[in-house]
Amino acid sequence: MEKPSYTPKDFASDQEVRWCPGCDDYVILNAMQKALPEVGVRREDIVFISGIGCSSRFPYYMNTYGMHSIHGRAPGIATGVKLANPDLSVWMITGDGDALSIGGNHFIHLLRRNVDLNVILFNNEIYGLTKGQFSPTSTLGLKTKSSPLGNVQPPFSVGQLALGAQARFFARVAGNSPKEMTDLFIKCHQFKGTSLVEVLQNCVIFNDGCFSHVTDKSVREDKQLYVEHGKPMIFGKERTKGLMLQGLKLVVVTLGEEGITEADILVHDAKEPDSTLHHMLVSLQYPLVTGIIRAVPDTTLEERHHEVKQAAVAKAKYHTTDELFFSGETYEVGA
């Protein structure tokens, strides 16, 4: 089949985009509309499923099929859509509250089952739509509408939670990095299995600057390490910082000091099945690791279902309902 030809405008719906001015959600939307023309899928074969929250308005703004579902239940609905029609490109849009609080159980089981769909998680460490309560990713001490004296609940790490739930693909990107974001969306679509992209998304109204210490343009080169498979883990404005493994810890070193060269720097292997190093990378605070941290191919839920179904069919005594209904002793009722 010939690859369809689209532009970003072809994926923009006629609905008014209603997010707060300055919100990173606009960046995510634009990045998605730029990514989809590159994936080679017809618009009528693309579906966006969302839960509840600011992020979950997303399906209205995409000129594709979509469903704005209920709080925390997008994983179940997205799974059903994919299993019913495996040929569809299914995208799930969610937020930190929607996915990790009321939807936490659904979220972790989606990851472990490895359904072939894509998840974009907008993490702004707050409940934005319901006006600023603390969320499962809110930092300790954060003063909000529901924690006026400061949040006392330790936050989830999306990456740690995902890898603990056996995620095969996990990526992280700053909400003010549209170029990298577009590239990640394309690559997560190409991955066969559940792909999860966490977007560090600023909420300008209720949690402004929550990631500025690592995403601000003045510091991000020194505070972020954007990893790429097969490349040494080097970062910094001057590209002089890197990661080495010393014992059971990742340490930041400086090229040229103590005889350290690029050959000493760890090379990123996103495809390593053993997730030990990936766990270390998602847990690192300095530098904050972004990019595709883990991308390990594995059998999908759909493939497992197909194998079981084929095996059952091969062993089945009856292959049609007529064969079943007319098996054994039957009789006809006369007029």
pLDDT of residue 322: 87
pLDDT of residue 256: 95
Ranges of CATH 3.40.50.970 domains, the chain: 8-231+268-303
Percent of the chain at pLDDT exceeding 90: 91
pLDDT of residue 3: 80
- Average pLDDT across the chain, whole number: 96
Q: CATH top-level class for 8-231+268-303?
A: alpha beta
Quote the pTM value: 0.94
Condensed to tens digits (0 to 9), the pLDDT of residues 245-266 reads 999 999 999 999 999 999 999 9
Condensed to tens digits (0 to 9), the pLDDT of residues 85-127 reads 999 999 999 999 999 999 999 999 999 999 999 999 999 999 9
Does residue 331 have a pLDDT over 80? no
* Paired sense of beta strands 46-50 and 118-123, if any: unpaired
Non-local (6+) Cβ contacts of 91 within 8 A are 32, 46, 47, 48, 49, 117, 118, 119, 120
* Residue 195, helix vs strand vs coil: strand
pLDDT band at 332 (very low <50, low <70, confident <90, very high): confident
pLDDT of residue 75: 98
pLDDT of residue 240: 97
pLDDT of residue 329: 80
Mean of pLDDT values over 160-183: 98
DSSP 102-158: ITHHHHHHHHHHT-S-EEEEEE-SSBTTTTSB--TTPPTT--BTTBTT---SPPPPH
Burial of 209 (0-12, 13-18, 19+ CB in 10 A): exposed
Please identify which residue in the block is written with the tokens 């090379």: 267
pLDDT band at 49 (very low <50, low <70, confident <90, very high): very high
DSSP 51-62: -SSSGGGGGGGB
Residue 171 CA to residue 191 CA, distance in Å, equals: 12
pLDDT of residue 1: 62
